[in-house]
Amino acid sequence: MKIGVLALQGAVTEHIRSVTLAGAEGVAIKRIEELNDIEGLIIPGGESTTIGKLMRKYGFIEAIREFSAAGKPIFGTCAGLIVLATTIEGQEEAHLELMDITVARNAFGRQRESFETDLKIEGIDEKVRAVFIRAPLIREVGSQVEVLSTYQDEIVTARQGNLLVSSFHPELTDDYRLHQYFVEMVREKQAS
Q: Are 27 and 3 in contact (CB under 8 A)?
A: yes
Report CA-CA distances (Å) from 163 to 15, 55, 189.
17, 18, 12
Q: Are 46 and 79 in contact (CB under 8 A)?
A: yes
* Catalytic-role residue among 15, 78, 95, 179: 78
Report CA-CA distances (Å) from 128 to 110, 119, 147, 157, 172.
23, 5, 15, 11, 12
The verdict on whether 169 is a catalytic residue reads yes
The verdict on whether 15 is a catalytic residue reads no
The verdict on whether 78 is a catalytic residue reads yes
Report CA-CA distances (Å) from 46 to 80, 102, 173.
8, 19, 16
Q: What angle do CA 83, 107, 173 make, to 5 degrees?
A: 75
Cα 162 to Cα 178: distance, rounded to the nearest angstrom: 14
* Catalytic-role residue among 169, 179, 184, 188: 169
* Catalytic-role residue among 171, 179, 184, 188: 171
Q: Is 21 left (phi over 0), alpha (psi -120 to 50) or beta?
A: alpha
Residues taking part in catalysis: 78, 169, 171
